[in-house]
Structure 1
Amino acid sequence: MRMMRRTKALGALCGALVIISTVAAPHAVADPCRWIAHDLPLPDGASRAEATGSSENNRFVVGQTEIGDRAAEHGLLWDNGSLVRMASPGSSTVPVRPADVNNSGVVVGTQDLWAEGRSVAFRYRDGVYEMLYTPNDHSTAAKAVNDRGDVIGELWPKGLRVSARSSCGRSTVPWRTSSVTRPSGSATTSGPCS
């Protein structure tokens, strides 16, 4: 009987110590998340600019600018705050609109080919553009890139006039790093336009 009381008392004491040590122990507190604004440099003559994407590690930021009175957008890449102008793969009047960048600095976006009446998705790394496969009778736009360099974007019939907010007539298309020549994986298509 006495042994049973000691066991119960010892069990109660151990339980109380566990509760006290849990409640009284200091907990590690993470620093609060803080957002600190930093001005990014712009090219000379920029009339407006906007950031359109950034890497998860915050090293890279992409965006676009208009220079002077030209209507064409010029692609911009900031690497740790240093500006890199993304020269257009064609004429300087052809708009280049970066959409996203990964942790390795791979940029994806869209180039408007006004003479052909369509847009073409691209992947860009170290000053080199890869135009992602786009059938001649369609337009594409790259929207996001992962750290492997796989791209997700949209495909729609050339000449289709739809609002940027509408998915009417558009299909979601993946381009894997190893398949620049054709989209890979399956595409999902939005419903019919009404």
Structure 2
Amino acid sequence: MRAVRRSIVLAMIAGLSITGWQPAMATETADCAWTATDLPLPPGHTGGHVRGSRDSNSVVGAGFHNGYTGIVWRNGSPIALPKWPDRNSENYPNDISASGLVAGHRSTYTPTSYLDEPYVIGGDYTSYRWLPTPAGVSARPVAMNDRGEIVGYSGESGAAHQILLWKQLGGHWTRKSLGPGNPVGIDEAGRVATDDGRIISPDGSTRYLEHVPGMDHPVVVSYENERVAGYRALENGAISAIWDATGKLVSSSDQDFLFARAANTKGTVLGTTLRARLETAVWRPGQPVQTVADPRPEFASLNLWYGTITEDEKIIATYETTEGDNQPAVWSCE
């Protein structure tokens, strides 16, 4: 289940040591080559980017067509979500469940203000349902699980956010505050991970991610596949780490500038590294670090873009075409 907070990832270099295993140094050689398959855009769209996914067959994003509009890809085929008549409103789907339910938000801009309104849409994707929010306060869904629980936040840009949990009870959506913070995801057990390294359980209890030496204040980037990915930038390097759903450390890297972005339960990690230029990288236990290029997933370049590695070893992200447009895609290593 998609669970990611947008975060600008710094420059990285490809030296690596992982707790429990020692991969070779970064190299161009690999047992497979990464190839991208475009997720087609609906007619009239001039570009788009991925914003969330359940797996490579269920993806959501936004495309540009006189403003940003919502797109759902089911088994690789695009479905354009209904547009609003207000030309100042844009549509940003953020996640999708196994049943195809989509959670997103409408952003409405005026010369002096903006408002984010959270919604869900499913079935034949023709009708939105608005999620309850504090009156007049912006709110955005971040992630959802297959039980239909949605985690997000409320609050204005630059102000302290409140974590919100939406559930459907008796045909109605309810809202509960989990306290201050920024959520990065929710798992099937209802546990919520936050960008400051907390895991909030459904009973309200909180635990912190296991401490990594030298990583006092990790920036948690994503929580999906029951794997939390985070990093800490240092003056002369960086530390990255992967934790499980209980907060236990699974692996960590402490050499130079290699940051983890997402991981799966097989031990595959997606991240970014820096050689002559910023590059996307994948590393696995006991194998060389691979770079992914031509085209390169651009999830690390902008803080609004999404990138993940699925349980079946596929990358879901966005790349820039030679014409300068943004193209959603799925990468496979074959």
TM-score by length of 2: 0.40
Aligned position for 1:78: 73
User: In structure 1, how many angstroms separate the alpha carbons of the residues matched to 2:163 and 2:51?
Assistant: 20
Q: What's the CA shift string for 1:55-93, capped at 9, x where partnerless?
A: 14x3211000111xx2x2100001101111011355365
- The number of equivalent residue pairs is 147
Partner of 2:64: 66
Residue 120 of structure 1, aligned match among 117, 120, 135: 117
Gaps of 5+ in 2: 1-30, 183-334
**Is 1:60–1:105's contact at 8 Å kept on the other side of the alignment?**
yes
Q: Matches of 1:33 and 1:92 in 2, distance apart?
A: 46
1:145 paired with 2:137, answer: no
Gaps of 5+ in 1: 1-31, 163-167
Q: CA RMSD in A?
A: 2.6
1:187 matched residue in structure 2: 178
Question: Could you tell me whether the CA contact under 8 Å between 2:41 and 2:47 is conserved in 1?
Answer: no
Query: Which deviates further from its counterpart, 87-96 or 138-147?
Result: 87-96
Q: Deviations over 1:166-188 (max 9, x none)?
A: xx41111000122745413x422
Q: Which residue is equivalent to 1:50? A: 49
Which residue, out of 82, 87, 91, partners 1:87?
A: 82
* TM-score normalised by structure 1 residue count: 0.66
**Whole-Å Cα distance in 2 between the matches of residues 106 and 74 of structure 1?**
17
Deviation for aligned residue 1:113:
2.8
Q: Which has the higher strand share?
A: 2
Q: Which has the larger radius of gyration?
A: 1
Partner of 2:106: 111
Partners of 1:131 and 1:119 in 2: CA distance = 11
> Is 1:176 equivalent to 2:167 in the alignment?
yes
Deviation at 1:148, TM superposition (A): 1.2
Identity of matched residues, %: 26
CA distance in 1, matches of 2:121, 2:132: 14
User: How far apart, CA to CA, are the structure 2 residues paired with 1:187 and 1:33?
Assistant: 44
Using the alignment, how far apart are the partners of 2:33 and 2:131 within structure 1?
37
Give deviations 1:12-51, integer Å, cap 9, x for gaps: xxxxxxxxxxxxxxxxxxxx99965321111223222001
